[in-house]
Amino acid sequence: MKFDIAVLPGDGIGPEIINQAVNVLKKIAEIYGHEFNMREGLMGGCSIDECGEPLPGETLKLCKSSDAVLLGAVGGPKWDSLPGDKRPEAGLLGLRAGLELFANLRPAVIYTALKDASPLRADIVKDGIDIMVVRELTGGIYFGKRGRVNGGPMGESAFDTEVYSVAEVERIARVAFEIAMKRRKVVTSVDKANVLESSRLWREVVIRVSGEYPEVSLNHMYVDNAAMQLIRNPEQFDVIVTTNIFGDILSDEASMITGSIGMLPSASLGKGKPGLYEPIHGSAPDIAGQNKANPIAAILSAAMMLRYSFGLETEAASIESAVVNVLNKGYRTADIASKGAKVVGTYEMGQLVADEVESLNS
């Protein structure tokens, strides 16, 4: 099969880790007979330096005309003093808006080989944890009506509004159920339906959509309980689907229980538009250009791209198995290294994963 991929390496460690993801994709193309047409674009600080803006029209056009976008990371101290809308991160917001990405997928996986990195106790982590948080990305309180009111009995006040329409909840619920169908077939919908009207609508709609997926079991959890259960018994979760603000908080909590930021990929999906795939970490300026960054989050982001944008499940699973095998053989980048580990650099780790993909398929 043939796919166009827009590749945006970005700043800091972005180019180093994306190079490794691209190499693994080339290996997959070679083994499975696909054609990945990878075209690079400028975004973030490097783009500000070259053409004065974080997301040039040309880059957005490139992304829109591709089947998927693979992004490294943007930002760094060099551009920190610029005004908000001129900063590298503004490019990211522009890209998300331009591609109308409404679903954010954040897996939180604790690999057996890395379970010591988790801040959770071994008897809680057991043999590993594998949760997918599906966060609604374009609605809710971050986009609802807000303002300030002067002159009330208590002085000035401010308000933000949580608003969800049936259509918005339906489309994010469908994404969650579709993903659950490819996993362990359990969806936990997180809301605050004991207090919020928007949550009551959310719950009604999720229940209705669940009727289309009789194989998936659905349960509901209040957000305060979900925050607690993620620490107490994370094993119970498969797919968590939730609103923008609750997802913002819970996806960070879920990723922190894995204990290794350099390992976590993410995807943002829209309807009928290219998806955006990127590691959850930033540009790590403290280790940029030193061959120290962990490329696994970027490599796993490429695997998510194969699965969710191209429907190449076997190829995606092959990358994920290769990562597990390399970790099981004791190889680690410095960020995840414990005593006795074989510590390798960014390039070497990428090469090890690519070689493992090859040997898994030979």
Residue in 40, 53, 89, 253 binding ligand NAD, rule: CB under 6 A: 89
**Which helix (H) or strand (E) covers residue 218, if one does?**
strand 217-222
Interaction between residue 268 and ligand NAD (CB under 6 A): no
- Report the distance separating Cα 322 and Cα 361, nearest Å: 10
Task: Rule CB under 6 A: say whether 54 interacts with ligand NAD.
Answer: no
Among 23-31, 157-165, 281-289, 350-358, the segment contacting ligand NAD (CB under 6 A): 281-289
Look up tokens 């674009």; give the residue. 41
Contact criterion met (CB below 8 Å) for 14 and 45: no
Alpha-helical runs (H) found in the chain: 14-32, 45-51, 57-64, 88-98, 122-125, 166-181, 197-210, 223-232, 244-256, 296-308, 313-328, 346-360
Residue with tokens 């930002």: 75
Q: Tell whether residue 294 is a contact of ligand NAD (CB under 6 A).
A: yes
Q: Does 287 bind ligand NAD (CB under 6 A)?
A: yes
SS3 state at 77 = helix
Instruction: Tell whether residue 282 is a contact of ligand NAD (CB under 6 A).
Output: yes
Report whether 333 contacts 293 (CB < 8 A): yes
Q: How many CA atoms lie within 13 A of 308 on its CB side?
A: 33
Two structure tokens written together for 48: 């500000």
Mark whether 86 is an active-site residue: no
Told to check if 75 binds ligand NAD by CB under 6 A, we report yes
Whether 271 is a known active-site residue: answer no
* Residue of 32, 126, 142, 185 with catalytic role: 142
What are the phi and psi torsion angles at 299 (to 5°)?
-65, -40
Interface positions, 239-258, toward ligand NAD (CB under 6 A): none
Q: Output 176 or 287, the one with its CB closest to ligand NAD.
A: 287
Task: Identify which range of 70-78, 115-123, 143-151, 316-324 contacts ligand NAD by CB under 6 A.
Answer: 70-78
Cα–Cα distance, 1 to 119 (Å, whole number): 42
- Smaller CB separation from ligand NAD, 137 or 221: 137
Q: Rule CB under 6 A: which of 316-345 touch ligand NAD? A: 335
Among 29, 74, 141, 223, binds ligand NAD (CB under 6 A): 74
Active site residue 142: yes
Q: Does position 76 bind ligand NAD by CB under 6 A?
A: yes
In the set 141, 293, 300, 327, which binds ligand NAD (CB under 6 A)?
293
Contact residues for 30 (Cβ-Cβ < 8 A; gap 6+): none
User: Closer to ligand NAD at the Cβ: 132 or 284?
Assistant: 284
Residues lying near ligand NAD in the complex (CB under 6 A) are found at 13, 17, 73-76, 89, 92, 261-262, 278, 281-287, 293-294, 297, 335
Tell me which residues are annotated as active site: 142, 192, 224, 248, 252
